[in-house]
Structure 1
Amino acid sequence: MSESRPAILALTRRGLATARWIAEGLPAAEVLGRAGRADDADRTFTDTVATLRALFAAGRPVVGVCAAGILVRALGPVLGDKRTEPPVLAVGEDGASVVPLLGGHRGANALARQIADSLESLPAVTTASDLAFGIALDEPPADWTLANPARAKDVAAGLLAGDRVRIDPELDWLQALPQADDAPWHLRASIETPGDDPQTLVYHPRVLTVGVGCERGCDPDELTELVRATLTEAGLADTAVAAVVSVDLKMDEPAVHATATALAVPARFFDAATLEAETPRLATPSEAVYREVGCHGVAEGAALAAAGADGRLLVAKRKSRRATCAIARAPSPLDAARIGRPRGSMTLVGLGPGDPLMGTAEAAHAVDRASDLVGYSLYLDLLGDRAGGKTRHDFQLGEEEARAAHALDLAAQGRDVALICSGDPGVYAMASPLFELLERENRADWNRVAVRVVPGISALQAAAARIGAPIGHDFCTVSLSDLLTPWDQIQRRLKAAAEGDFVVALYNPVSRRRTWQLGEAQAILSAHRPGDTPVVIARQLGRPEEQVRVTTLAELDPAKIDMLTVLLIGASTSRAIPRGEGGQWVYTPRGYAAKHIKSESGDAA
């Protein structure tokens, strides 16, 4: 998900005053202030680098009222394709300088001029054509594309040398350039595939809509090739396409999304009733299609619905063995975000134990791109600045199924939802109840949602890393909670783990109402391994109250363990060794010592 609302960051009280001044000229902007220094902002943040990177990843224009170096150092490691990066500007705290740093031809130069006007200062725009004419030839509006950007430099050079241009009337943002009827350069608006004329810049309006249909499981290449061939034979430019569209029954069809990706446009969807309303405008209505999906035409109907009431069908339905497509044209450029509905997504995100440094980059990216956050209130609070600007849906502990259902409902509406978990979503967390709910309910709208699981660092991994290598050999995990699993089944698993001499991680060891299970688990394991077996007690991992200590199986006191603790009970081979700075390391050998001895013995022989 990307968002066009500018974010203005202030790091000091003086900078906040300038940020407010800028915001007066940008009514949709959000002012963010550094906590403790610029608290009177729309919202505050504590980690400047993380906040900048989150905004940048979300595609938001960033205006930093700070030194340019701060922005450069924060964003330098995450820069990628300059053609997709959002505008980033630095503004001096006194408002005297406005410097577009990134995305100059993606709106930064224009934004710099707008801000400079409101501050009565000068924008530090360095692009030559921008300086001379206030216009960037290779920066068309969002609903237009430049077909041959490599030629823009030649045209700009000609203009700077005193040449004039011929401009088609539709290109209204270019009309301020010097013009003449006999000018050597032509700036042309067209939906057709551009020719090879080196004197012509061709701009494509996003007015075409490609409607598609296909059988379930259609080869993505078949649909993509059908669409490309149809565009080519009609002489239409694929960069004039605004969206690939279909009926919502195809929302989870890989071929539709692959075709949209190939054309670098969104895939959007309509319900059957909306497509049926287009029947009078269809060129090839079909009773068979109506019986199958509830409308008389998918490809033509979707293309026309997307093009709007004043749109018209350019290419009637074409077929391949398992797919169909049709093309319509709208009278003016389209905003794809207003066409139909997108396929919603639901990402289960594991935050790790709690410390942001123990979260993964993939998890951070999933949160950044989400429109909605669903989770237990404490977990959402752990997101800190990353939750800013997103819709929160808070739940209490114990409402796991309600959380999953609510997240799926939101995603079914076309939202990008992140369902937040601590640790790893698949380890005694939300992934299992989510998939259980999907299977039990088998709802068509939920089944069409794009579901993804982003792993996190589990308490087991974090505890092991803190204390050494206790899970360096075979291990297993057992939850002692009998709320959902009968105790006799838990007992069987504990006995099997004990007999198999696994290192055992015990989750949910006790609670206020469950106080005896840990003692029984201790007795079961003690029957199969010595009393001096090391036991790692890890509490409040990743939080300021974190405690990790080592005891033995015989000395373990269940009365001193709580629900915020995970236990790692060693195998018979696990060892505790002293640390140089005090305390102990715990590790479980894999047999390298025996291998080393054998190797030395062989050498000696």
Structure 2
Amino acid sequence: MTQKFDHSPAFVALTAEGAKLARRLRDAFGAGEVHGRSGRVDGADVTFDETISHLQSLFREGRAIVGICAAGVLIRALSPLLADKRAEPPVLAVAENGSAVVPLLGGHHGANDLAKALSAQLEITAAITTASDNRFGIALDNPPAGWKLGNPADYKAFMAEVLAGAAVRLVGEADWIKTGNLPLAAEGTLTITVTEKAIAGSEKELVLHPAVLSLGVGCERNADAAELSALVQETLRAEGLSPKAVAAVFSIDVKADETAVQALAAELDVPARFFPAATLEEQTPRLATPSDVVFAEVGCHGVSEGSALAAVGASGKLLVAKHKSKRATCAVGQAADIIEPSTLGQARGKLFVVGLGPGDQCWRAPEVDRVVRGVTDLVGYHLYLDLLGPLAEGKGRHGYELGEEEMRVRIALNLAAEGRSVALVCSGDPGIYAMAALTFELLDRGNRADWNRVAIQVTPGISALQGASARIGAPLGHDFCTISLSDLLTPWEAIEKRLNAAAQGDFVIAFYNPVSRRRTQQLTTAVEILLKHRPADTPVMLGRNLGREGESMTVLRLDELTSDQVDMLTVVLVGSSTSRRIEKSDGSCWVYTPRGYEKKAHLYDDFDKTGEVKAITEGSAA
């Protein structure tokens, strides 16, 4: 499968002056983020402490990297990762004064095109060193959308002869090739063949496949992916057609969530697109094998043939009539021109339920950034969408107020059901007092076919309790629980029962939703219950605005905790009877909850003297 790269550039600046240019290029390009070195760059979209590790992380993610720095910095950082040039994302070096743009890696994976775009903004000439680009103005191993090179292994030898002066004969139509400066000649010793047929090619013949084939498929529910794949491969082979000429896999919309169909699209490295039954039924007069049985089942007289024909339009034709296996069917259509899948039917909708962590982008998981960059729409509380900063630019934004949680989820599911890719944005972790549970609850309650076809992924984040614990030490070092004190959705009787159980169990407790303007008595009652079971001097930690401006951590005694010290932006951690404070020289403290390692302390009595640990006796914990 072709390596996928994220061409939303990371403009990496190591100095304040470099950051100025990074912002200019980001704004001109209309995408990407400024990544700035901590302590040197202010106001960056993303900050980092270690340059080499950050660059390597971006490279592994497949991010396009534009380093506003010396080329040597990028070379030294990324050289240990270089192995397969087909797996290298675009990497460019840009001089801090804007005098040079040099694509270093991934020239034919977008780096050359990106270099040209950036150099145009700087009004300079990009230092493109790829021989074929410089001599001929095109790169046959990086054809435009809708084209694939059939024999990439032969490309190097083929281009070596072209660069040495050999002429090229073009067989077939490909206007984009004629726009370059290739030495085309009717009697060329080398050949470029444009075809949908499966031709091996050689060092003397490059084969280019235009995406003119539509692959229509159908299958029974939960059909084996291997069966559908085998049917398709056998059909294409029998007809002498190349899989690389397939533009997309097409089917009826009720098959959008069919594993076999999605697996086939992934195998062929093409999109999967889906039509409603009414659209497929319009193709009935053109079907080779219409079926009343199929019509009774799904509302159209042919799924595979109908899908193939709907994709190629009135000017296309049914190239291969329906082939069948035990539980699957396929057919092939041929279009008069390149097929653009994004204009046909709709994709399977995707819903990503993502957690931003407490707020600071440094605490946001890289997977969340990757997911958000790839979606079309964002849904969430206004503040959470604001926290995304530049990541939210260019996306459909659907912001709602607090208290409109169910509305947010319904909107997100509806958008995804339309074939969009949607991020439902939460703070903290989406599965902890956030929107993931409500998403699945609405799926369960609604049992709507269109919602059930949506692909859903929950992407974790750092929860408020983890953030507070990390800031103050390790109070969650032993058994703990979380309790929401909001009785808007849970009866107070149930909450009080849980409070008593947690108090008696001597758990460290994280309180969510501790107070609001209308709710203050709940926290007071919780303190009264806890004081019956643990000491008055039990440490209580209040983490407010974690990861945001105005962050604070306060430690006090349990008997000092009152509702007026807390608001809805505060997470409250109450230690167990064994939680301990360690006073620091600056007057603050650490808090931790021991797990019982002191019981093994005797094993290390002589360690400082000998550097050796006594043998662990039988029955000791590992």
The TM-score with structure 1 as length reference comes to 0.87
Q: 366-375 vs 580-589, which deviates more? A: 580-589
Q: CA deviation at 1:167?
A: 0.9
Specify whether residues 538 and 475 from structure 1 end up closer, same or farther in structure 2 by C-alpha distance, changes over 3 A only.
same
Aligned to 1:168: 171
Specify whether residues 272 and 534 from structure 1 end up closer, same or farther in structure 2 by C-alpha distance, changes over 3 A only.
same
Equivalences for residues 447-458 of structure 1 within 5 A:
447-458=452-463
Q: CA–CA distance in 1 between the matches of 2:450 and 2:473?
A: 46
Selected match of 2:575 from 559, 565, 570: 570
Q: CA deviation at 1:64?
A: 8.3
Aligned to 1:30: 30
Q: CA–CA distance in 1 between the matches of 2:562 and 2:440?
A: 37
Aligned to 1:46: 44
Q: CA deviation at 1:130?
A: 2.4
Q: 445-454 vs 435-444, which deviates more? A: 435-444
Q: CA deviation at 1:91?
A: 6.2
Aligned-partner residue type, residue 30 of structure 1: G
List runs of 5+ in structure 1 lacking aligned partners: 24-28, 36-43
What's the CA shift string for 1:297-342, capped at 9, x where partnerless? 1111111111222111122111222111111111111122222111
Specify whether residues 243 and 59 from structure 1 end up closer, same or farther in structure 2 by C-alpha distance, changes over 3 A only.
farther
Aligned to 2:312: 307
Q: SS state of the match for residue 249, structure 1?
A: helix
Q: Does 1:149 align with 2:147?
A: no
Q: CA deviation at 1:2?
A: 8.6
Cα RMSD, aligned residues only: 3.8
Q: CA–CA distance in 1 between the matches of 2:230 and 2:408?
A: 41
Q: Does 1:528 align with 2:536?
A: no
Q: CA deviation at 1:55?
A: 11
Q: CA–CA distance in 1 between the matches of 2:360 and 2:33?
A: 23
Aligned to 1:431: 436
What's the CA shift string for 1:27-53, capped at 9, x where partnerless? xx5388989xxxxxxxx9733779999
Q: Does 1:323 align with 2:321?
A: no
Q: Does 1:128 align with 2:126?
A: no
Q: Does 1:236 align with 2:224?
A: no
Q: Does 1:281 align with 2:279?
A: no
Q: 91-100 vs 150-159, which deviates more? A: 91-100
Aligned to 1:292: 297
Q: 3-12 vs 461-470, which deviates more? A: 3-12
Q: Does 1:137 align with 2:135?
A: no
Does structure 2 conserve the Cα–Cα contact (< 8 Å) formed by 1:6 and 1:30? Answer: no
Q: CA–CA distance in 2 between the matches of 1:345 and 1:462?
A: 29
Specify whether residues 412 and 74 from structure 1 end up closer, same or farther in structure 2 by C-alpha distance, changes over 3 A only.
farther
Q: CA deviation at 1:73?
A: 9.4
Q: CA–CA distance in 2 between the matches of 1:256 and 1:554?
A: 61
Q: CA–CA distance in 2 between the matches of 1:166 and 1:182?
A: 6
Does structure 2 conserve the Cα–Cα contact (< 8 Å) formed by 1:9 and 1:32? Answer: no
Q: CA–CA distance in 2 between the matches of 1:53 and 1:406?
A: 37
Does structure 1 conserve the Cα–Cα contact (< 8 Å) formed by 2:10 and 2:34? Answer: no
Selected match of 2:522 from 517, 523, 543: 517
Aligned-partner residue type, residue 145 of structure 1: K
Q: CA deviation at 1:243?
A: 0.3
Q: SS state of the match for residue 339, structure 2?
A: coil
Aligned-partner residue type, residue 200 of structure 1: E
Specify whether residues 464 and 340 from structure 1 end up closer, same or farther in structure 2 by C-alpha distance, changes over 3 A only.
same
What's the CA shift string for 1:187-243, capped at 9, x where partnerless? 111112123543111001111111111111112222122212211222111111110
Q: SS state of the match for residue 510, structure 2?
A: strand
What's the CA shift string for 1:101-136, capped at 9, x where partnerless? 444224544565677689875442211222222232
What's the CA shift string for 1:327-386, capped at 9, x where partnerless? 111111112222211111111110111111111111121211121111111111111122
Does structure 1 conserve the Cα–Cα contact (< 8 Å) formed by 2:11 and 2:34? Answer: no
Specify whether residues 467 and 54 from structure 1 end up closer, same or farther in structure 2 by C-alpha distance, changes over 3 A only.
closer
Q: SS state of the match for residue 243, structure 1?
A: strand
Q: CA–CA distance in 2 between the matches of 1:471 and 1:301?
A: 59
Specify whether residues 76 and 394 from structure 1 end up closer, same or farther in structure 2 by C-alpha distance, changes over 3 A only.
farther
Does structure 1 conserve the Cα–Cα contact (< 8 Å) formed by 2:9 and 2:64? Answer: yes
Q: CA–CA distance in 2 between the matches of 1:146 and 1:196?
A: 10
Q: SS state of the match for residue 142, structure 2?
A: coil
Aligned to 2:423: 418
What's the CA shift string for 1:74-121, capped at 9, x where partnerless? 999999975476766666688764533444224544565677689875
Aligned to 2:364: 359
Aligned to 2:470: 465
Does structure 2 conserve the Cα–Cα contact (< 8 Å) formed by 1:58 and 1:369? Answer: no
Aligned to 1:40: none
The TM-score with structure 2 as length reference comes to 0.85
Specify whether residues 332 and 80 from structure 1 end up closer, same or farther in structure 2 by C-alpha distance, changes over 3 A only.
farther
Q: SS state of the match for residue 430, structure 2?
A: coil
Specify whether residues 18 and 447 from structure 1 end up closer, same or farther in structure 2 by C-alpha distance, changes over 3 A only.
closer
Equivalences for residues 266-277 of structure 1 within 5 A:
266-277=271-282
Aligned to 1:405: 410
Q: CA–CA distance in 1 between the matches of 2:277 and 2:310?
A: 11
Q: CA–CA distance in 2 between the matches of 1:391 and 1:233?
A: 45
Q: SS state of the match for residue 159, structure 2?
A: helix
Does structure 2 conserve the Cα–Cα contact (< 8 Å) formed by 1:346 and 1:450? Answer: yes
Does structure 2 conserve the Cα–Cα contact (< 8 Å) formed by 1:8 and 1:31? Answer: no
Q: CA deviation at 1:420?
A: 0.8
Aligned-partner residue type, residue 436 of structure 1: E
Q: CA deviation at 1:466?
A: 1.4
Equivalences for residues 248-259 of structure 1 within 5 A:
248-259=253-264
Q: CA–CA distance in 2 between the matches of 1:520 and 1:133?
A: 78
Does structure 2 conserve the Cα–Cα contact (< 8 Å) formed by 1:251 and 1:269? Answer: yes
Selected match of 2:108 from 102, 105, 108: 105
Does structure 2 conserve the Cα–Cα contact (< 8 Å) formed by 1:187 and 1:201? Answer: yes
Aligned to 2:445: 440
List runs of 5+ in structure 2 lacking aligned partners: 36-41, 49-53, 606-613
Q: CA–CA distance in 2 between the matches of 1:231 and 1:59?
A: 32
What's the CA shift string for 1:143-162, capped at 9, x where partnerless? 11111112122222112222
Does structure 1 conserve the Cα–Cα contact (< 8 Å) formed by 2:10 and 2:33? Answer: no
Q: 270-279 vs 323-332, which deviates more? A: 323-332
Q: SS state of the match for residue 105, structure 1?
A: helix
Percent of matched pairs sharing the same residue: 56
Q: 509-518 vs 566-575, which deviates more? A: 566-575
Q: CA deviation at 1:492?
A: 0.6
Specify whether residues 202 and 583 from structure 1 end up closer, same or farther in structure 2 by C-alpha distance, changes over 3 A only.
same
Q: CA–CA distance in 2 between the matches of 1:18 and 1:537?
A: 41
Aligned residues: 592
